[in-house]
């Protein structure tokens, strides 16, 4: 049973059990438009699942590419450093909408997508006897959206990590080298652990931004929350305000809970005694 | 204090040597970019009405030569062959190289043709983008400063202010635009006003976009002006009040001047952010850069060239903005006053 | 810390020492930053077991000199020999050299994300390749030696300045260095907190550690040094036993300098 339907079923069952009469009266108080929205809630929640998955895949791609890029910008030299800087400027200076459209309409992503889907199929085969399943295949829109959001996020995350690395006092590296560590060993055990902790606030910000920008994927037809809201709007145009408010509420809940979770992570891994 | 000795930073040296050429290139690019934009605007709004020049919306440079050149380059590529060299592999190597070069040349000319063709439309759309950004950020700023002051000094009023900023920052900009445009009867109200849409004043969609961006921008700007307010030492306000200044005057003459300098980097980020996200206004029918480019692309299907050029124009605007702001920052800088992070960290 | 002499009676008498060659030999050391010549031909020799104190006005090149010895800064001219090894030779591995030279910083520079114990263990595990258990034991031993056995689990931000510096000393000592470099170890500390650090340093002197110390703490210099070098504008002005420089300096500049400090 897919999560969206499950969630809405549970909520309705609970509501029904608790107080049928109360539910009846509230239901009749809501206008026709709100009723429309709530009836289609499971369709929207399906979109939420896509939104969340898209956010996570994009952020992961961003970390994978962004953190090394940040390190190169601080410690690299010559061509690699220049390349990273210029790519960064390109991805930070172009609207995400344009990047997404470019990835979907222009980039020959089929070349990557084909092998990727075969890989997924393989994983699915392996997982066959278990109760888990991999997604059947990754759609072009989802892939393009992940690439777009991921690469742009990498460009920004490289800046976050770069800032964190630069903010570490020179004396830390000096002390590490004074006991005989090579620069690489010092980076691994002294500099990077501290830089990661200092990156958390910026990362928190970035996560929220990616989460909200998944909504732009509606322009390439991906069935995330905003696109599905749009679909409902087409069905019943009078309900547009209610639909949008409902969707906005969902986004708000998502960003709020993400921020509080990352606050928790920040506090948990913070260095005792240091204020952020 | 011991002697301050550190080995000279290698990045400092690198930057110094590369500044010369890249600086020259960026100045040249800037002149070309803004030269084109301003000539186009001048032509469309002033000269065209006076009957001078090719007329509004018409190309300065015709597109046909480019298309023709592209066509012949591609033809030449197809017919390209080299014979008569002693080695067969040398023949085919040179042939492939020749075909590749001609093909690339053809693509380049083709893109140039597209660029020349859509340039007038893009320039007009760029005007909307710039106008949208500048007006929204100015209005947003005027709301954000009082909002930030309330968040820090406002007592019980803090909570509504907090709710406002959290709600606006927690929901996507595009959803906010949709609510304003489709959800509320704003569009109808505005349309009924005689001034909107009259002559050179833009349509109601534009003004709704302004409202949307203003509200969105104000929430973010309030947040980091607040951060900057809080980095100003408490002692500053205390000293001001000890002199006899009221709370408001103390904030106005002592705290805010320092705050605003702290907030410049963050504010630059906001400017860049709005420049880029102005593209979303295209979804509520504002004829800004993305909207115009997308319309053209959907009818001519030359996606690669058009979106590529679109990115170039946006980059030009963004880099100009960051350039101007860093000059502003140097101009108003006071030694010892640092920086606050904005919506997204980074240099652009 | 008292003004009285530090007990050096337990130290090995140099006369019966089988090794006649100096532990550290600095010959004609030169270093410039851009146009500014910071070290102009410095000569210095330290025998094993010596405690040499470097004094001089700021800008005289003392810290630079120290950083050249463990090659944190590259020299422009001259030689530095640790035993038989040419420290500055291109084929000398600086990381190897630094394992034999311990350094204590004015800014302390404890690894902020690690506890005191972990700070000391890091070099043992990641440079010397020790296993976790022995490294842990050794770290706790060293921290005990500097009087912080009960703070092993504290993070730097939770320690006082003096405690942090003592961890810094423990961290350097754990590597079993032949030579310890101290770069104004107490200059950044309040006077009360300095005492703990100076006590630890005095203990090291008594244990026979070879030390090169840059400091303004004249009481330590008077009590613990075997020799004092006065450096001014990158040159060695005068060098000799503490009694000579304090009571009976040969050069006028030396006398002027010590007079100016005594007014602080």
Q: Poorest-confidence range of A130-139, B42-51, B148-157, C38-47?
A: A130-139
Q: Which pLDDT score is estimated for A88?
A: 92
> Are residues B49 and B134 located together in one domain of the fold?
no
Report whether A133 contacts A117 (CB < 8 A).
no
Distance, in Å, from the CA atom of C77 to the CA atom of C182, rounded to the nearest integer, reads: 23
Q: Which residues in chain A have Cβ-Cβ distances shorter than 8 Å to C72?
A: 174, 177-178
Cβ-defined contacts of C11-16 (< 8 Å, 24+): C11/C49, C11/C206, C11/C208, C12/C49, C12/C208, C14/C47, C14/C49
CB atoms within 10 A of CB B135: 16
Name the E strands within C115-205.
179-183
Which CATH architecture group holds C19-262? 3-Layer(aba) Sandwich (3.40)
Q: With an 8 Å Cβ cutoff, are A180 and C112 in contact? A: no
Residue B119 lies in a domain: no
* Least Cα separation, residue A165 to chain C (angstroms): 14
Q: Which residues pair with C230 in a beta bridge?
A: C55, C238
Are B311 and A208 in contact (CB < 8 Å)? no
- Max CA separation in chain C (angstroms): 56
> Using an 8 Å Cβ cutoff, are B185 and B191 in contact?
no
Return the residue of C nearest to B1 by Cα. Answer: C187
Q: What is the token pair recorded at A6? A: 């499950």
Q: What's the gap in Å between the CA of B151 and the closest CA on chain A?
A: 19
C71 touches chain B (CB under 8 A): no
- Please give the Cα distance from B148 to B162 (Å, whole number): 9
Arithmetic mean of pLDDT over chain A? 84
Q: Output the pLDDT for position B300.
A: 84
Specify if B323 maps to a domain: yes
Domain assignment present for residue B152? The answer is yes
Q: Domain for residue B256, yes or no?
A: yes
* Helical spans, DSSP H, in chain B: 10-42, 48-50, 64-79, 88-153, 158-170, 173-178, 186-192, 204-231, 234-242, 247-250, 256-277, 289-300, 303-332
Residues 6+ away with beta carbon under 8 Å from B288: B125, B128, B129, B132, B278, B279, B281, B282
Task: Dig out the tokens for C160 from the structure.
Answer: 């006082």
Contacts 24+ apart (CB under 8 A), B297-303: B297/A105, B300/B114, B302/B114, B303/A101, B303/A105, B303/A106
Q: How many CB atoms lie within 10 A of CB B101?
A: 13
B79 lies in a domain?
no
DSSP assignment letter at B185 = T
pLDDT tops 90 at residue A125: no
Torsion-angle region of B20 (φ positive above 0: left; ψ -120 to 50: alpha; else: beta)? alpha
Residue pair A70/A33 in contact (Cβ under 8 Å)? The answer is no
Touching subunits of B (3+ CB pairs, under 8 Å) are A, C
Are B36 and B171 part of one and the same domain?
no
Min distance C55 CA to chain B CA atoms (Å):
12
Flag whether residue A24 sits within 8 Å of chain C, measured between CB atoms.
Answer: no
pLDDT at A185 over 50: yes
Residue B80 lies in a domain: no
Find, in chain C, the residue whose alpha carbon is nearest to that of B2: C58
| Subunits with 3+ C-beta pairs closer than 8 A to A | B, C
Q: C215 CB near a chain B CB, below 8 Å?
A: no
Q: What are phi and psi of B100, to 5 degrees?
A: -60, -50
Residues in B whose CB is inside 8 Å of some CB of C read: 1-3, 5, 7-8
Structure tokens belonging to residue B66: 């480019």
* Residue C211 pLDDT > 80: yes
Q: Which residue has tokens 């002592």?
A: B254
Within 8 A of A198 by CB-CB distance, chain B residues are none
Asked if A98 and B290 come within 8 Å (Cβ–Cβ), the reply is: yes
**Domain count within chain B:** 2
Q: How far apart are CA C99 and CA C128, in angstroms?
A: 8
Residue A16 has pLDDT above 80, yes or no: no
Best A179, A181, A200 residue to mutate vs chain C (most C CBs within 10 Å) = A179
Mean pLDDT calculated for residue range A196-207: 85
Closest CA to A216 of A130, A128, A103: A103
Give residue for tokens 């170890």. Answer: C185
Please list the residues that pair with C69 across neighbouring strands: none
Sheet holding C227-232, edge to edge: C101-104, C179-183, C210-214, C51-55, C227-232, C235-240
**Using an 8 Å Cβ cutoff, are B311 and B293 in contact?**
no
Condensed to tens digits (0 to 9), the pLDDT of residues A215-241 reads 999 888 888 888 888 888 887 777 778
Measured in whole angstroms, the distance separating CA B272 from the mean position of its chain's CA atoms is 5
Question: Could you count the other beta carbons within 10 Å of the beta carbon of residue C47?
Answer: 17
Sheet of C77-82, strand order: C36-46, C24-33, C77-82, C85-86
Give the Cα separation of C177 and C212 in Å (integer).
13
Confidence of residue C58 (pLDDT cuts 50, 70, 90): confident
Q: What is the CATH classification number for the domain harbouring B144?
A: 1.10.3720.10
CA distance C59 to chain B (A): 5
Residue C72 φ/ψ, nearest 5 degrees = -70, -25
Residue B76 lies inside a defined structural domain of this protein: no
- CB atoms C63 and B1 under 8 Å: no
Asked if residue A73 lies in contact with residue A85, where contact means CB atoms within 8 angstroms, the answer is yes
Torsions phi, psi of A142, nearest 5? -60, -45
Question: Would you say residue C6 has pLDDT above 60?
Answer: no
pLDDT, residue A175, reads: 94
Counting Cα atoms < 13 Å in the Cβ hemisphere of A101 gives 25
Residues of A in contact with B303 (CB under 8 A): 101, 105-106
**C37 or B155: which carries more pLDDT confidence?**
C37
Q: Degrees (nearest 5) of the Cα angle B45, B284, A244?
A: 160
CB-based contact C63 B8, cutoff 8 Å: no
Residues 92-151 (C) with a CB less than 8 A from some CB of A:
94-99, 101-103, 105, 107-113, 122-123, 126-127
The yes-or-no verdict on residue A275 having pLDDT over 50 is no
pLDDT, mean of each 10-residue run, chain B (348 residues): 36 44 80 86 76 68 78 76 72 80 82 83 89 93 90 86 90 90 73 62 82 93 85 77 76 80 81 92 89 88 86 91 86 62 42
CB distance C60–B5 less than 8 Å? Answer: no
In this prediction, residue C14 carries a pLDDT of 46
Restricting to A residues 241-260, those with a Cβ less than 8 Å away from any Cβ of B are: 241, 244-245, 247-248, 251-252, 255-256
List, as one string, the DSSP characters of chain A.
Answer: --HHHHHHHHHHHHHHHH-HHHHHHHHHHS-HHHHHHHHTHHHHHHHHHHHHHHHHHHHHHHHHHHHHHHHHHHH--HHHHHHHHHHHHHHHHS-HHHHHHIIIIIS-THHHHHHHHHHHHHHHHHHTTSS----S---HHHHHHHHHHHHHHHHHHHHHHHHHHHHS-HHHHHHHHHTT--HHHHIIIIIHHHHHHHHHHHHHHHHHHHHHHGGGGGGGT--SHHHHHHHHHHH-GGGHHHHHHHHHHHHHHHHHHHHHHHHHHHHHHSPTT---
Map out the domains of chain A with their CATH numbers: 28-266 (1.10.3720.10)
- Rounded CA gap, C106 and A180, in Å? 19
Q: Which of A77, A155, A245 sits opposite B179 (nearest CB)?
A: A245
Cβ neighbourhood burial of C13 (10 Å; 0-12, 13-18, 19+): exposed
Beta bridge partners of residue C228, listed in sequence order:
C53, C240
Predicted pLDDT at C1: 41
Q: Which of residues 61-100 of C touch A (CB under 8 A)?
A: 70, 72, 94-99
State pTM to two decimals: 0.76
- Report the gap between the CA of A119 and the closest CA in chain B (Å): 29
Chain B residues in contact with C75 by the CB 8 A cut-off are none
Q: Is the pLDDT of residue A57 over 80?
A: yes
Cβ contact, residue pair A194, C105, below 8 Å: no
Within an 8 Å CB–CB cutoff, is residue C60 touching chain B?
yes
Q: Provide, as residue numbers in chain B, all residues whose Cβ is less than 8 Å from the Cβ of A82.
A: 18
**Inter-chain CB pairs, A–B, below 8 Å:** 133
Q: What was the pLDDT predicted at C52?
A: 95
Of the candidates B125, B136, B111, the residue with the CA atom closest to the CA atom of residue B40: B125
- Residue C230: pLDDT band (50, 70, 90) is very high
Judge whether A102 is closer than 8 Å to chain B, CB to CB: yes
pLDDT at C59: 80
Closest CA to C70 of C103, C28, C107: C103
Residue B343 within a domain = no
The more confident residue out of B257 and C207 is: C207
Among positive and negative, which fits the CA dihedral C117, C123, C128, C131?
A: positive
User: Tell me, what's the pLDDT at A241?
Assistant: 80
Residue of B nearest to C61 (CA): B3
A80 contact B CB<8A: no
Residue A148 has pLDDT above 90, yes or no: yes
How far, in Å, are A103, A109, A145, B264, C19 from residue A120 at the CA level?
21, 16, 18, 47, 70
> Which residues from C are below 8 Å from A190, CB to CB?
111, 113, 122
Give contacts of C126 with chain A, Cβ < 8 Å: 181, 185, 189
Residues of chain B neighbouring C214 (CB-CB closer than 8 A): 2
Nearest CB partner across the interface for C63, out of B2, B7, B8: B2
Nearest by CB to B3, from C34, C59, C74: name it.
Answer: C59
Q: Six-digit token pair at C220? A: 């330590």
Q: What is the pLDDT of residue B124?
A: 85
Instruction: Tell me which chain C residues have a C-beta less than 8 angstroms from the C-beta of B1.
Output: 58, 187
pLDDT of residue B17: 43
B3 and C74 in contact by Cβ < 8 A?
Answer: no
Residue C217: phi and psi, rounded to 5, are -75, 95
- The alpha-carbon gap from C23 to the nearest alpha carbon of chain B, in Å, equals 26
pLDDT, position A128: 65
Q: Looking at chain C, which subunits does it touch, using at least 3 CB pairs closer than 8 Å as the criterion?
A: A, B
- Which residues of chain A neighbour C122 with C-beta distances below 8 Å? 176, 179, 189-190
Q: What domain range is B288 assigned to?
A: 125-332
Record: contact C95-A189, CB cut-off 8 A? no
Question: Which of 2-41 (A) contact B at CB < 8 A?
Answer: none
Give the number of B-C residue pairs with CB atoms closer than 8 Å.
27
Q: Which of A137 and C136 is assigned the larger pLDDT?
A: C136
């Amino acid at each position: 049973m897919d999560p969206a339907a499950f969630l809405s079923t549970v909520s309705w069952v609970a509501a029904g059990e608790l107080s049928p009469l109360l539910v009846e009266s509230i239901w009749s108080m809501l206008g026709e438009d709100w009723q429309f929205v709530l009836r289609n809630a499971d369709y929207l929640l399906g979109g939420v699942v896509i939104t969340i998955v898209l956010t996570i895949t994009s952020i992961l791609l961003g970390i994978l590419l962004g953190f090394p890029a940040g390190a190169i910008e601080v410690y690299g030299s010559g061509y690699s450093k220049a390349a990273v800087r210029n790519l960064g400027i390109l991805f930070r200076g172009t609207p995400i909408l344009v990047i997404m459209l470019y990835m979907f309409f222009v980039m020959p992503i089929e070349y990557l997508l084909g092998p990727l889907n075969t890989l997924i199929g393989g994983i699915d085969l392996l997982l066959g006897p278990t109760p888990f399943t991999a997604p059947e295949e990754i759609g072009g829109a989802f892939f393009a959206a992940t690439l777009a959001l991921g690469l742009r996020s990498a460009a920004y995350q490289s800046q976050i990590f770069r800032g964190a690395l630069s903010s570490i006092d020179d004396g830390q590296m000096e002390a590490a080298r004074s006991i005989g560590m090579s620069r690489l060993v010092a980076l691994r055990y002294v500099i990077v652990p501290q830089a990661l902790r200092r990156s958390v606030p910026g990362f928190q910000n970035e996560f929220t931004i990616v989460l909200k920008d998944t909504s732009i994927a509606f322009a390439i037809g991906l069935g995330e929350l905003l696109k599905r809201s749009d679909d409902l709007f087409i069905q019943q145009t009078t309900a547009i305000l209610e639909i949008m408010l409902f969707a906005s509420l969902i986004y708000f809940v998502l960003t709020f809970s993400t921020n509080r979770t990352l606050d928790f992570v920040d506090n948990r891994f913070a260095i005792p005694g240091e204020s952020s | 204090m011991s002697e301050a000795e550190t080995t000279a930073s290698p990045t400092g040296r690198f930057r110094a040597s590369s500044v010369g050429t890249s600086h020259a290139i960026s100045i040249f690019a800037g002149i070309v970019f803004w030269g084109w934009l301003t000539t186009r605007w001048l032509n469309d709004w002033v000269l065209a009405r006076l009957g001078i020049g090719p007329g509004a919306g018409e190309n300065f440079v015709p597109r046909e030569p480019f298309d023709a050149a592209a066509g012949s380059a591609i033809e030449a590529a197809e017919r390209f062959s080299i014979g008569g060299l002693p080695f067969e592999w040398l023949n085919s190597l040179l042939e492939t190289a020749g075909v590749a070069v001609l093909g690339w040349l053809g693509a380049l000319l083709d893109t140039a043709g597209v660029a020349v063709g859509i340039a007038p439309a893009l320039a007009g759309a760029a005007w909307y983008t710039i106008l949208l950004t500048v007006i929204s950020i100015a209005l947003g700023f005027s709301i954000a400063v009082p909002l930030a002051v309330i968040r820090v000094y406002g007592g019980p009023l803090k909570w509504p202010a907090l709710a406002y900023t959290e709600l606006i920052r927690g929901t996507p900009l595009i959803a906010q635009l949709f609510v304003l445009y489709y959800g509320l009867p704003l569009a109808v109200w505005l349309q009924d006003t005689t001034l909107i849409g009259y002559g050179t004043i833009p349509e109601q969609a534009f003004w709704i976009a302004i409202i949307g961006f203003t509200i969105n921008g104000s929430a973010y700007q309030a947040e980091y002006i607040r951060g900057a307010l809080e980095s100003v030492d408490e002692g500053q306000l205390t000293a001001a009040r000890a002199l006899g200044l009221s709370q408001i005057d103390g904030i106005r003459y002592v705290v805010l001047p320092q705050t605003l300098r702290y907030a410049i980097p963050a504010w630059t980020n906001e400017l860049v952010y709005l420049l880029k996200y102005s593209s979303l206004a295209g979804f509520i029918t504002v004829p800004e850069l993305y909207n115009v480019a997308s319309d053209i692309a959907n009818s001519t299907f030359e996606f690669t060239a058009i979106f590529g050029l679109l990115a170039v124009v946006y980059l030009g605007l963004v880099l100009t903005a960051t350039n101007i702001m860093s000059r502003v920052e140097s101009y108003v800088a006071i030694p010892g006053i640092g920086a606050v992070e904005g919506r997204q960290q980074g240099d652009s | 810390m008292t003004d009285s002499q530090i007990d050096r009676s337990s130290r090995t008498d140099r006369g019966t020492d089988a090794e006649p060659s100096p532990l550290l030999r600095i010959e004609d050391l030169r270093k410039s930053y851009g146009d500014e010549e910071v070290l102009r031909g410095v000569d210095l020799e330290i025998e094993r077991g010596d405690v040499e104190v470097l004094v001089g006005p700021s800008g005289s090149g003392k810290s630079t000199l120290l950083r050249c010895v463990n090659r944190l800064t590259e020299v422009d001219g001259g030689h530095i020999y640790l035993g038989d090894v040419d420290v500055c030779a291109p084929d000398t591995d600086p990381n190897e050299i630094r394992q034999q030279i311990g350094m204590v910083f004015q800014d302390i520079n404890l690894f902020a994300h690690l506890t005191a114990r972990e700070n000391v263990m890091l070099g043992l595990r990641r440079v010397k390749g020790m296993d976790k258990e022995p490294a842990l034991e050794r770290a706790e031993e060293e921290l005990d030696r500097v009087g912080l056995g009960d703070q092993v689990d504290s993070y730097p931000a939770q320690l006082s300045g003096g405690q942090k510096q003592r961890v810094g000393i423990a961290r350097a000592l754990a590597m079993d260095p032949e030579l310890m470099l101290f770069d104004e170890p107490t200059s950044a500390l309040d006077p009360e907190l300095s005492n703990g650090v100076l006590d630890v340093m005095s203990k090291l002197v008594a244990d026979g550690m070879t030390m090169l110390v840059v400091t303004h703490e004249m009481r330590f210099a008077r009590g613990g040094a075997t020799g004092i070098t006065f450096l001014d504008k990158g040159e060695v002005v005068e060098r000799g036993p503490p009694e000579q420089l304090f009571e009976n300096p040969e050069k006028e500049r030396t006398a002027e300098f010590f007079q100016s400090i005594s007014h602080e």
